[in-house]
Structure 1
Amino acid sequence: MTDTTTTASPTAMAPATEGRRVSPRVAVLISETRLFFREPANLFWIIVFPSLILVILGCVPMFREENDDLGGLRLIDIYVPIAVLVAQIVAGIQAMPPTLTGYRERGILRRMSTTPARPSTLLAVQMLLNSALAVLSALLVITVGRLVFSVDLPSHVGGYAVGLLLATAACLATGALVSALASTSRYAAGFASAIFFPALFCVGVWIPVRSMPDTLANVVELTPFGAAASALEQAAAGGWPDWSLLGTLVAWAVVLTAAAIRWFRWE
């Protein structure tokens, strides 16, 4: 992954109003959206990469064969929720922290604190943009799975949506904490990478959670990523996710958010 820190100030990139007033929040949203979509790396890793993983795996014949050990499912069926969560991890942990830390490093957050466009607005906009892209990527993964590999759509749509939203919140909270603790964008990228690969393991990229030994699976499900993987898998199969899994996601999101608020520095 590359460092996707933007090089322009959000306030400097605020759109011209041409005779009409635009609220600071709207101005920051518009300028940050423009900057965000000028970063092709962000778009590739969040939008394209998860679906690309699914297509590559689906091209392996073994992944398209029914497996008795998986209850008659195919490996590609199992990997759709995993690819969905990869998008959340990339957006929350890889894309957001270097950007926010870069703004702080260059004094942009400090300068914004003296304007109507408060730094908290920038943080909220970054979380909104990354979560929206992550959810869009999840929908793309599900669509690719259905159209290309005939993977069934999630049977319990409500449970799937709740699990996905809580997973997104937990990943963004993790990224916010990385942004709070890292002093520079390079440190943020390093911290994010240190979390990224264990997170991929926990969602089951190398070994699906249901195929892990029981002890390992139980430990993994105590992490937000493992809990999210099992919750989405249960909802995809038609059941409401276990409340213990949803509770784990809520607990991690709350604790990590509180820690990020406690230690986040605007300058």
Structure 2
Amino acid sequence: MTAPSATWRLMRTEIKLCVRDKSAPVWGVGFPLIVLIILGSVPALREPREIYGGLTAFDIYVPVMILFNLAILAMTALPATLAGYRETGVLRRMRTTPVGPARMLAAQLVANLAVALVAVVLFLAVAGLGFGVQPPRNAAGFVVGWLLSATALLAMGLLISALAPGRNAAMAIGTVLFFPMMFLAGLWVPIAEMPPPLRAVSQYSPLGSGMQVFQDAYLGHVPPVQPMVVLAGYAVVCAIVAVRWFRWE
């Protein structure tokens, strides 16, 4: 078996395991999709508002649910799996094979990105076909924002995996980080309606920056540099620290 074929088989296996795991398909895809459908069924949320730049509240919640999916995968599914692999000795045993544990990390990242990609296409399709939400006017800006958000969050997930001693600790850390990050993304209170101090904090959070890029892309604007730099900064710093401190056993 050559290294490329072994890596591909490992990726396919990890994708299957990721799909079978309850947190990724149920909480990361199913739950936000149900919330999206419920919100889309409320007529008051589908009226344009000036405070949202002419978008409706439902338009705002579509990218929020996309970020919800990324956060679930990065903050719970990825750390729980990798920390669990370390806890049960899977990573240690992988060191004795030609594939090596590094390819396991790559396979996990690809598996979670595959689930996230399916989710974003599904959310946009349901919002567009079911409720008439127009796709982002700046499609390129939206794609760049999604890639940066996914990279930043998955890097944070790797950092949690590197620092957490076991599966339970990884899930606890991820859960503690998940809720404040989703709040700053506008899950409960839209960012435009937050007090100025909270809006300022949101601009420097990974999900708040992702929302800013998404909203500008929906309006057809070129995403501003600041949120993209913030997302890139999270991705680079978290990845470097995770690689430096990652323990295989």
User: Shorter-normalised TM-score: what interval?
Assistant: over 0.9
Task: Report the equivalent of 2:229.
Answer: 247
CA drift of 1:61 comes to 3.0
Task: Report the equivalent of 2:161.
Answer: 179
Task: With the length of structure 1 as denominator, give the TM-score of the two structures.
Answer: 0.88
Structure 2 counterpart of 1:61, from 43, 46, 51: 43
Structure 2 counterpart of 1:158, from 127, 135, 140: 140
SS of the residue 2:165 aligns to: coil
Structure 1 counterpart of 2:55, from 66, 73, 78: 73
CA distance in 2, matches of 1:31, 1:132: 13
Amino acid at match of 1:246: M
CA distance in 2, matches of 1:41, 1:257: 23
SS of the residue 1:23 aligns to: helix
- Output one character per residue of 1:162-203: Cα deviation in whole Å (capped at 9) or x when no partner: 000000001101110110111010001100100110111111
CA distance in 2, matches of 1:69, 1:159: 21
Gaps of 5+ in 1: 1-16
- 2:124 counterpart of 1:142: yes
- Output one character per residue of 1:92-137: Cα deviation in whole Å (capped at 9) or x when no partner: 1111100000000011101110111211101111011101211221
Amino acid at match of 2:29: I
The answer to whether the Cα contact below 8 Å between 2:51 and 2:192 also exists between their aligned partners in 1 is: no
Task: Report the equivalent of 2:31.
Answer: 49
What number of residue pairs does the alignment pair up?
249
- 2:15 counterpart of 1:33: yes
The answer to whether the Cα contact below 8 Å between 1:179 and 1:188 also exists between their aligned partners in 2 is: yes
SS of the residue 2:215 aligns to: helix
Task: Report the equivalent of 1:170.
Answer: 152
- Output one character per residue of 1:205-246: Cα deviation in whole Å (capped at 9) or x when no partner: 011112222232121111111101111100111011101111
CA distance in 1, matches of 2:42, 2:58: 9
| Structure 1 pair 232–68 and aligned structure 2 pair: CA distance change class (3 A) | closer
CA drift of 1:64 comes to 2.0
CA drift of 1:22 comes to 7.7
Q: Percent identity?
A: 38
Q: Which structure has the bigger radius of gyration?
A: 1
| Structure 1 pair 21–72 and aligned structure 2 pair: CA distance change class (3 A) | closer
The answer to whether the Cα contact below 8 Å between 1:65 and 1:75 also exists between their aligned partners in 2 is: yes
The answer to whether the Cα contact below 8 Å between 2:136 and 2:217 also exists between their aligned partners in 1 is: yes
Gaps of 5+ in 2: none
